[in-house]
Each structure stands twice: as C-alpha cells, then as structure tokens.
Amino acid sequence: MEKEIIQWIYEAGEKIRTAIRQETFVVDQKSSRTDLVTDVDKSIQDFLADKIQQFDSSATILGEENGQDKTPIDKGRVFVIDPIDGTLNFVMQKENFCIMLAVYEEGIGQLGFIYDVMRDDLFWGGRKVGGVYHNEDLLAPPPNKRLSDGLLGMGISIFADNYYHTREIGERSMGVRVLGCAGLDFIAILKGIQIGYISLLSPWDYAAGSIMMEQFGMAFSGAEHQPLKFQDRELFIGLTQAAMDDVIQIIA
Ligand code: IPD
Ligand code: CA
Ligand code: CA
Ligand code: CA
C-alpha cells in the first residue's frame, strides 16, 4: 500500500508545482481574510480521493476540503488527507507547504506521509512498515531532549494568549518557531531539530505526524493530557518524552 500512496503523492506534488509555474490557481476566503482555500487544494483532495477509491473502494476519507471533514476515524480503513497543509504559505510564499496523508485501521494509526512539495522531500512511515523513512533512508529516532534544550514549534495565537500555559512553556524552551505549516513542524521534530509542536489543529493537521512520532516513541496528547478526539480543532501537544514530562510539571 505504501508504494501506491507514495506514487500518488509524487503525482499530486507535480500537479501543485505545475499550478505554481503556470500561476493558474484561484484563491477564495473560507472563514476569514486569512483563512484561504484555492482550487488546487480542492482538486488535489479529489485526485487523492479518486486514487484511494480505485485502490480500496471500502475505505472512507476524512479530508479538510470538499465536505469530507466529518468522517469518523475509528471504523474500517480511513485515509486522512490534508491536500495542501499551509495554504497561506502556498499563496503568499509559493513554498513551505506540504501534502499530508495518513491511514488508520479501526482507529489505529498505520502509516503517515508528509511531503514538502517544493523541496521534493518525503517523510513517511509508521507501525505498518515498522520505521520512519526520509525519502528512502531509514531515520533514527531523535534524541530525547528536555524542554530547556530544544526549539519548540507553536501556533502564534496560542503562544500570545498563554492558552494552557503555552507562553510559559515556550519561554522555558530554547526558543519558539512559527512556521505556518504543521507538516513542516512535524518534519522538524522527526529530523530532531525541534523538540516538539504545540498548536490548535484539526485531525488532518496532526494525523500523519502523530503516527510517525508514535513510531519513534515520542509523546502527544490533546489538552489536559486527554487523548486526541479526531473531530474538531483542538489543542495538540507533541513532544519528546522528556519535554512532555517538563510540560506536565508546568501545567500542574
Ligand atoms: C494550517 C497550517 C498552520 C496551522 C493551522 C492549520 P491549512 O493548515 O498547518 O500551520 O497553524 O492550524 O490549519 O489550513 O493551511 O491546511
Ligand atoms: Ca485550511
Ligand atoms: Ca493543515
Ligand atoms: Ca489544508
């Protein structure tokens, strides 16, 4: 299954790079001036959904666009799609965005894929393949650093609001980084150049990344150490085990 998925993602990436080269995409507002969607987001989700349906007609799809955002995660095989993660970066920077895809079976995360489209860089893996890969290379788990020893990715609004002690947590780290693309934060964690990521996220934002963090024995949760709900937007906390212990002390 992973070989097929990687092929779909590479094809989808090429479609996005072509749209950028030809400057052919149309931008719309969703909930606000800064919450954007383009026709490319929608068409890439359709492209991936078609491939999935041809591959496994019994699978269901949970995706950000096209009214597919309410599918439950816990029944049968579910493919979770974020066709462009970091749409604002896609529109404003034409780089620093990802395609993300994850596979769940009966609610258990099996495979995650995060593709940095403009750098042509793929991170993928999970329990189904027993490891995490950077393109074709098996990755070693990142060092188990304390909160005070590493950089931390965060959503800017929760940092500013000190939502669930987020500002205190950020100030105890070596520094806060705001990338505007959840997928790039997860890639930074998997590479070991960031100790974690804390943000308000939807299931398609954290599915692929949390599957690969789990494979590395790292820690993640929703607010107040509750399991993630895989429904609406919620606080996501993903860290090394040692940094999670530090964060639990701060919150207590
Ligand atoms: C967004 C990005 C952003 C994060 C938001 C997400 P989208 O995804 O990952 O970094 O802070 O919470 O919604 O909407 O561009 O796919
Ligand atoms: Ca969006
Ligand atoms: Ca996203
Ligand atoms: Ca998106």
The answer on 54 and 101 residing in a single domain is yes
* Ligand 1 centre distance from Cα of residue 179 (Å): 10
Residues 145-175: pLDDT tens digits?
A: 999 999 999 999 999 999 899 999 999 999 9
- Identify the residues whose C-beta falls under 6 Å from ligand 1: 64, 82, 85-87, 155, 180-182, 199-201, 205
Percent of the chain with pLDDT over 70: 100
Strand order in the sheet with 137-138: 60-63, 77-85, 98-105, 108-116, 121-126, 131-134, 137-138
The answer on 151 and 235 residing in a single domain is yes
The answer on 128 and 8 residing in a single domain is yes
Mean pLDDT of 56-62: 98
Domain membership of residue 34 as a residue range: 2-138
pLDDT of residue 203: 98
Mean pLDDT of 190-214: 98
The closest-lying atom of ligand 1 relative to the alpha carbon of residue 84 is: 16
Q: For residue 85, say whether it is annotated as part of any ligand binding site.
A: yes
pLDDT of residue 244: 97
Q: What is the CATH number of the domain that holds 10?
A: 3.30.540.10
Could you tell me the pLDDT band of residue 190, with boundaries at 50, 70 and 90?
very high
* Ligand 3 centre distance from Cα of residue 74 (Å): 21
Domain final residue, candidates 138, 173, 189: 138
pLDDT of residue 252: 83
Q: What is the CATH number of the domain that holds 189?
A: 3.40.190.80
Domain final residue, candidates 83, 109, 138: 138
Averaged confidence pLDDT in the chain:
97
The answer on 127 and 186 residing in a single domain is no
Interface predicted TM-score (ipTM) of this complex, two decimals: 0.98
The answer on 18 and 117 residing in a single domain is yes
Could you tell me the pLDDT band of residue 24, with boundaries at 50, 70 and 90?
confident
Percent of the chain with pLDDT over 90: 96
Q: Tell me the whole-structure pTM to 2 decimals.
A: 0.97
Q: For residue 137, say whether it is annotated as part of any ligand binding site.
A: no
The answer on 111 and 208 residing in a single domain is no
The answer on 186 and 166 residing in a single domain is yes
The answer on 26 and 83 residing in a single domain is yes
The answer on 158 and 134 residing in a single domain is no
Mean pLDDT of 87-97: 98
The answer on 16 and 125 residing in a single domain is yes
How many domains does the structure of the chain reveal? 2
Could you tell me the pLDDT band of residue 224, with boundaries at 50, 70 and 90?
confident
Could you tell me the pLDDT band of residue 100, with boundaries at 50, 70 and 90?
very high
Domain final residue, candidates 81, 116, 138: 138
The answer on 153 and 120 residing in a single domain is no
The answer on 164 and 121 residing in a single domain is no
